[in-house]
Structure 1
Amino acid sequence: MQTCAQAQETPAQENTVGKQYLKDVLHDEKIIWTSPARIRSSHLPWLIPFFATTGGLIATDSNVAKQLPGSPSLISNSRTLANAGLALAVGGGASYYLWGRFAHNDHAREAGVLSSEAAIHSAIVAEVLKLMAQRERPSADVRGRFFQGGSSFPSEHAMLSWSIASVFAHEYPHTIIPFLSYSAASGVSLARVLGRDHFPSDIFVGSVLGYAIGRYVYNTHHDQELPGANIGAFTPSGPDYRREGTTWVALDSWVYPAIDRLAALGYANGISGLRPWTRIECARMVEEAGQTIEGEGAGPGMVALYQRLVREFAPEIEGTISNSEGRIEDLYARAGFISGQPLADDYHFAKTMVDDFGRPFGEGANLVSGVSSRVIAGSFGLYVRGEYEYAGALPPYSAPVLQDIANVDSTLFAVQQRTNSLNRFQFLDSYVSLNYRNNIISFGKQTLWWGPGAEAPFLFSDNVEPLPLLRISRATPFVLPWIFHYLGGIRVEFIWGQLNGTHFVSTHSSFTQETDFTPPIRPHPYIHGEKVSFKPTRNFEFGFGVTSLFGGPGFPLTIHNFLKSYSLSNTAPGFPGDPGDRRSGFDFSYRLPYVRDWLTFYADSFTEDEFSPIIFPRKSSMRGGFYMPKLPKLNRLDLRAEGLYTDIPSLGVPGVEYFNGRFRSGYTNWGQLIGSWVGREGNGISAYSTYHFSERNDFTLHYRNQKVNPEFLSGGHLQDFAASGTFAKTNGLTFKGALQYEHWAFPLLSAIPKENVIGSLEIRFQPSQGWKLW
């Protein structure tokens, strides 16, 4: 196909129906069918993900088709909807042409003409590919074999609707038309799958080719004197955050506390309750902080911190990221030793090492050594973080402990915790991502943080191993029009994934018929979650979140069960109408008046199986805290303190938080709580104070206290006293040492209180921007 630059050089011509129209169609057909001969290495960042996704979908097509609902009425209605949607798209293009012709509206006439050209090309390409592939349709044979005389691959409905939608979206980019066009095309595509006319791979290939054909037709024949999307105009400007590929900044990065300090002092402005942030979002906040610092002035410490952040995100700020580049982000090693017995079960008791990506630990030596890297290719990103882990052994639970755990969880038996030392290689956050107009679509193992503050939020935290997720997240806040602009900047995030390590699921076919599923569980439960955060002012932010566990044994992953998990209805856990295990959350943060540069107050809450903690505060767990980025006469010293509880007063039933009668292993992944370390029936406080010698060198004191309700597994408590220091050199080498003393007493685990001491040393090589490979 022609390049964008070549298309820009083509003289503008009148787009109408006639001899020139036929010439354009014939010329474009030649370009389309000879385009494979013009593939270059620069196209690989787009072609490789396209073919990889197509191959993955083809491999899973048969399994997906077998799980689709087979209702005759649904199939019939889906086919009617698909045909009606396509007819509406074609009719809409014709209507625009007629309107433009008789109303002398050149823009509308061009939209109609180009949409018809795109539809003709799509129909020709689809028919030829169908003849070549000859794939069976799902309605004939769910195996989806090729070269069997069928006509399933690719979907002509999808290709036609997406090509027309692409033309209209490019002709009217700043209106509601792109949303309506792509929504209609998506509806047609989904209906063809539900109507058992196509497999998902047929739809995917048809949609991508249709979009590309529509974009090509617009780019080649659009009259530049008319309004429309400015494709291929290479005007020097700042970085285009809507298009650049990007990756998420790891949650244990020094960047988060640095930007938190700038935000608490009023220099940076972002949404703190929805993390991680992308590198382009961090760059945006750093740029904004620079403008505020320049306008209002700042002390030398904040200026140095800002300059350090500028060096880190210089490629994103300056727009110098190449179309394809790879960097090693950091290399690290941490050696630690635990003297004494630690705790490692926060679902039932407590955990000694928290908010550490679910890394294993045990008595004796504990080692971690890893590397993280990122690759950017156009709008795509790839991030890989892998590490070697060694963990010491843990003592086994006694038979009475296992029996009490089984009783409180209502399971047939309890699973023994790990007792042997562990030696393994593990991938942490590792995913591919696509940036589409500031919306990041990522797939792979990912860590989430849904809430303000430094301690683990209730819904998602880094207290657990990263989950395999499909994630759609708005990277940079957007503002709604009209009166809705008072809501301020908005970020939204949607996730779908699957849990691991679930041991117990219980279902009911009636009030007297119960089925208990025990290890090995197949399939594991699925999870989806949604969160939206608002920032109406620079000083106030609030957000709503919800998560749901669904599927698993007895509830196959069907579209009906998936959609039911979003319904407002509810039934007893495990019964046929059960939508799943749902929990909702609310959080906010506020820089208090008159002391805005001194004090930020924040809170987080969640409730089980209720609409919102705002409506049911007496049935909700709460977390509140404050952050002081500086103290009087001590600008380099900060202070943070938080208090939280899940032992809800007067609730009467212990251990119900993070638990469900159907999913007896609870809100866990590999046995570890996805949310807060405070557990199912506990309360606690945590306090930090850090002295900042420079932008990267600091010393921190930390205190943590946790108590568990005696009504839950006989209760217990722990106290942690910790100190840590960080020393960073200018060449990217960082040293961090930490020492922690813990005292705990859980009568069910030990008749006498226990103590342990943890010492660790971490060495990390993390040059600014990463070590560039190409």
Structure 2
Amino acid sequence: METRNAASSSPGDSPAAPPSLLLAPSLEPQGQRSATIDTYESPQSQIAENDRFGSTNVPMDSWIYPALERLSAMGFIPSQNVSIRPWTRQECLRQVQEVEEVLSSYGISDSMNEEAQRLLSDLQKELEQPPDSGGIALESAYTRFGTIAGPALTDGYHFGQTWWNDFGRPLDRGSSAIAGFSVRATHGRFFLYDRQELQQSPGVSAITTAESQLFNSLDNIPFGTSAPNLLPPTPAGAAYLRQRPLELYAGVAFSGNALSFGKQELFWGPTTMGPWAFSSNAEPTYNLRLVATRPHPFPFLPALGTYKFDIVFGKLSGHKYPARPYYNGQKADLTFGSNLEISFTRWSVLWGVGHPMTLKSLKDNIFSSNSTSTGTYGYGDRSDPGDRKSDFDFRLHVPGLRKLVTIYADAYADDELNPIDAPRRVAWAPGIYLARLPYLPHMDLRFEMASSEELSRDEGGTRFFINNQYRDSNTNKGFLLGNAVGRDARAFEGRTGYWFSSRSRIEVGYRQSKGGLSFLPGGSTISDGFVNASYAITPEWSAQLFSQYERFDIPSYLPGSHHNESGWLQITWNPKIHVPKS
């Protein structure tokens, strides 16, 4: 049984966070920071000082996110909120310093202390550069080699995907390769980030006449007026090589917020499988973004909790009907105390070929409440206000089990102002996370489910992610923007991991997805068993290995049962080469 200091409480059971909840402790020179805190500056002065400097985002495939999330689930980061990501490096540093503060402020059992220190060490080394050290840094260089042996699933909008949450990278049967690098630069309030990749694709599978007819039927049936054939028959394509900026943006920071423009990722939700709105499944979009980069105390009632917001306007790519649409989104995230976080989202697709780009159409898109999902406007109607969506999510560190159990859920609606207004008519994705297992303190466990079938009844594949105007609405370059479970499907996923450190761990998991009979003829069943391992070779070099066995039964795609084996190996160099500003 764990013991603790009788004069203080553990972080999981504490009634309140440390007094300097949003305070970043004073920084020592690089290389001299300690694991505990000896001196403090006042909250107002330190926050104001850090807000003077710009900071780039940490990519969502970084090991930093699962490490910080686990520390939060163990009670060491009371102020953390996860529904608006990615976080800036400065925000990650603030969370690391909060862990240090909690460790120094509470009597903590040896077991909890040891596990936190195992995770904290790598984070301190990665984020040791203080916010005011402007200049240019080579963040990473990496190469990845992968293969899919057997028939692959490459169309998550209709059939499914073999690889989930891979930033819309080339996906098909055969071998692929990636070489990339990332660079960040800051100067005072200004920041710039560039992540480039050279991607070698194994080729593109053909779209047969039968598949084309099926897609046309699936995407047009209920809407009265039909769009032209969305996916005509297409011959197989040869392997190709392409260069892509995975992220490329610049911006300015002010008062704990940032205004940025460029190709930048959005991740709006608490789930690991992927939020319904925006996830890592598709390639990031080009957008203009105003975001709160750190938690802000509530005005007039700062003791109640904190808030964050994200406002975005961007362009979608790869759409056919209509081509070249735009989107806008607004998200508000509220945290109450150290246990509860809730978030509300409103976003929509608008404009595109055949739809006027005017202030009136933008006003109608944002403020109109007319429903278009049932065909109120015929396809191509210029007065259609757009495809509006809403989302609600929450995360709760269970009181009494604060150091162990976290539950969360993400809900999505296509025709409701808020999903909680009609909870049986929305898509749900609940989950539970155990930061430590009994008698196995180095292991964690996560279980999630996702359903794009209504709880009340199955309305097929046109209930979510599509409407009578925007037939490929929730996609970017052919990949679903949100959870890759797809349309009219239900999935569950369980995964457990062993943590050697923040940078070294091994994780095994299993996922199964079933498609409804009201969408694909004969339905579908897709089962995946996977292993994901990362290893820190040296402080600068690391390796990541992913391996998966997939079995699927999709009669409308390939008769009978089929399977594939796939995997990839990535080698990453994080040189910490930094050229300071002159």
Q: TM-score, normalised by structure 1?
A: 0.65
Q: Does 1:250 align with 2:62?
A: no
Question: Could you tell me how far apart the structure 1 residues matched to 2:504 and 2:478 are?
Answer: 36
Structure 1 pair 409/538, CA: closer, same or farther in 2 (3 Å)?
same
- Which residue of structure 2 lines up, in the alignment, with residue 381 of structure 1? 191
Q: Does 1:476 align with 2:294?
A: yes
Question: Deviation string for 1:291-340 (max 9, x for gaps)?
Answer: 00122234223113213212222223xx4413xx0001101111011110
- Which residue of structure 2 lines up, in the alignment, with residue 358 of structure 1? 168
SS in 2 for 1:724: strand
Mapped contact 2:132–2:188 kept (Cα < 8 A): no
- Structure 2 residue aligned with 1:632, among 433, 438, 442? 438
Question: Deviation string for 1:166-207 (max 9, x for gaps)?
Answer: xxxxxxxxxxxxxxxxxxxxxxxxxxxxxxxxxxxxxxxxxx
| Cα distance, 1:479 vs structure 2 | 1.8
Q: Does 1:761 align with 2:569?
A: yes
Paired amino acid for 1:708: G
Question: Could you tell me how far apart the structure 1 residues matched to 2:59 and 2:405 are?
Answer: 26
Question: Deviation string for 1:379-412 (max 9, x for gaps)?
Answer: 1100000011112134323212210110111133
- Structure 2 residue aligned with 1:666, among 473, 476, 484? 473
| Cα distance, 1:537 vs structure 2 | 1.3
Mapped contact 1:365–1:391 kept (Cα < 8 A): yes
SS in 2 for 1:531: strand
- Which residue of structure 1 lines up, in the alignment, with residue 98 of structure 2? 288
Question: Could you tell me how far apart the structure 2 residues matched to 1:620 and 1:266 are?
Answer: 32
Question: Could you tell me how far apart the structure 2 residues matched to 1:531 and 1:759 are?
Answer: 35
Aligned pairs (5 A) from 1:690-729: 690-714=497-521, 715-729=523-537
Mapped contact 1:336–1:758 kept (Cα < 8 A): yes
Question: Deviation string for 1:338-393 (max 9, x for gaps)?
Answer: 11011010111100011011111221111111000101011110000001111213
- Structure 2 residue aligned with 1:547, among 338, 347, 367? 347
Structure 1 pair 537/641, CA: closer, same or farther in 2 (3 Å)?
same
Q: Does 1:429 align with 2:232?
A: no
SS in 1 for 2:460: coil
SS in 2 for 1:751: strand
| Cα distance, 1:737 vs structure 2 | 1.6
Q: Does 1:414 align with 2:214?
A: no
Higher percent of residues as strand: 2
Structure 1 pair 236/657, CA: closer, same or farther in 2 (3 Å)?
closer
- Which residue of structure 1 lines up, in the alignment, with residue 414 of structure 2? 608
Question: Could you tell me how far apart the structure 2 residues matched to 1:492 and 1:236 are?
Answer: 23
Question: Deviation string for 1:707-734 (max 9, x for gaps)?
Answer: 1112212221111111122110333100
Paired amino acid for 2:472: S
Question: Deviation string for 1:662-685 (max 9, x for gaps)?
Answer: 011221111111111011110001
Structure 1 pair 550/274, CA: closer, same or farther in 2 (3 Å)?
same
Q: Does 1:241 align with 2:18?
A: no
Paired amino acid for 2:557: L
Q: Does 1:275 align with 2:85?
A: yes
Q: Does 1:405 align with 2:212?
A: no
Structure 1 pair 320/314, CA: closer, same or farther in 2 (3 Å)?
farther
Bigger Rg, structure 1 or 2: 1
- Which residue of structure 2 lines up, in the alignment, with residue 580 of structure 1? 386
Query: What is the root-mean-square deviation in Å for CA atoms of aligned residues?
Result: 1.8
Which sections of structure 2, spanning at least 5 residues, go unmatched? 1-43, 221-226
- Which residue of structure 2 lines up, in the alignment, with residue 738 of structure 1? 546
Paired amino acid for 2:102: T
- Structure 1 residue aligned with 2:126, among 285, 307, 312? 312
| Cα distance, 1:485 vs structure 2 | 4.1
| Cα distance, 1:477 vs structure 2 | 1.2
Mapped contact 1:567–1:579 kept (Cα < 8 A): no
| Cα distance, 1:480 vs structure 2 | 2.4
SS in 1 for 2:97: helix
Question: Could you tell me how far apart the structure 1 residues matched to 2:197 and 2:204 are?
Answer: 21
Mapped contact 1:658–1:667 kept (Cα < 8 A): yes
| Cα distance, 1:553 vs structure 2 | 2.2
Q: Does 1:495 align with 2:312?
A: yes
Mapped contact 2:123–2:502 kept (Cα < 8 A): no
Higher percent of residues as helix: 1
Question: Could you tell me how far apart the structure 1 residues matched to 2:365 and 2:303 are?
Answer: 31
Mapped contact 1:570–1:577 kept (Cα < 8 A): no
Paired amino acid for 2:63: W
Question: Could you tell me how far apart the structure 2 residues matched to 1:273 and 1:561 are?
Answer: 29
Question: Could you tell me how far apart the structure 1 residues matched to 2:84 and 2:418 are?
Answer: 18
- Identical-residue share of aligned pairs (%): 31
| Cα distance, 1:554 vs structure 2 | 2.5
Question: Deviation string for 1:616-675 (max 9, x for gaps)?
Answer: 112100000001111000000100010110011444531121011001122111111111
Mapped contact 1:362–1:421 kept (Cα < 8 A): no
Question: Could you tell me how far apart the structure 2 residues matched to 1:280 and 1:501 are?
Answer: 34
Structure 1 pair 253/504, CA: closer, same or farther in 2 (3 Å)?
same
Aligned pairs (5 A) from 1:16-95: none
Question: Deviation string for 1:409-460 (max 9, x for gaps)?
Answer: 1133232576432311111011001101111111001111111021110011
- Which residue of structure 2 lines up, in the alignment, with residue 593 of structure 1? 399
Q: More displaced, 253-262 or 659-668?
A: 659-668
SS in 2 for 1:315: coil
Asked which structure has the greater RCO (Cα within 8 Å, sep 6+), the reply is 2
Question: Could you tell me how far apart the structure 2 residues matched to 1:238 and 1:363 are?
Answer: 50
Paired amino acid for 1:304: R
Mapped contact 2:458–2:488 kept (Cα < 8 A): no
- Which residue of structure 1 lines up, in the alignment, with residue 157 of structure 2? 347
Aligned pairs (5 A) from 1:494-573: 494-505=311-322, 521=323, 524-571=324-371, 572-573=376-377
Structure 1 pair 722/236, CA: closer, same or farther in 2 (3 Å)?
closer
Mapped contact 1:246–1:433 kept (Cα < 8 A): no
Which sections of structure 1, spanning at least 5 residues, go unmatched? 1-234, 506-520
- Structure 1 residue aligned with 2:274, among 439, 445, 456? 456
| Cα distance, 1:559 vs structure 2 | 1.2
- Which residue of structure 2 lines up, in the alignment, with residue 748 of structure 1? 556
Question: Could you tell me how far apart the structure 1 residues matched to 2:230 and 2:341 are?
Answer: 42
Q: More displaced, 261-270 or 560-569?
A: 560-569
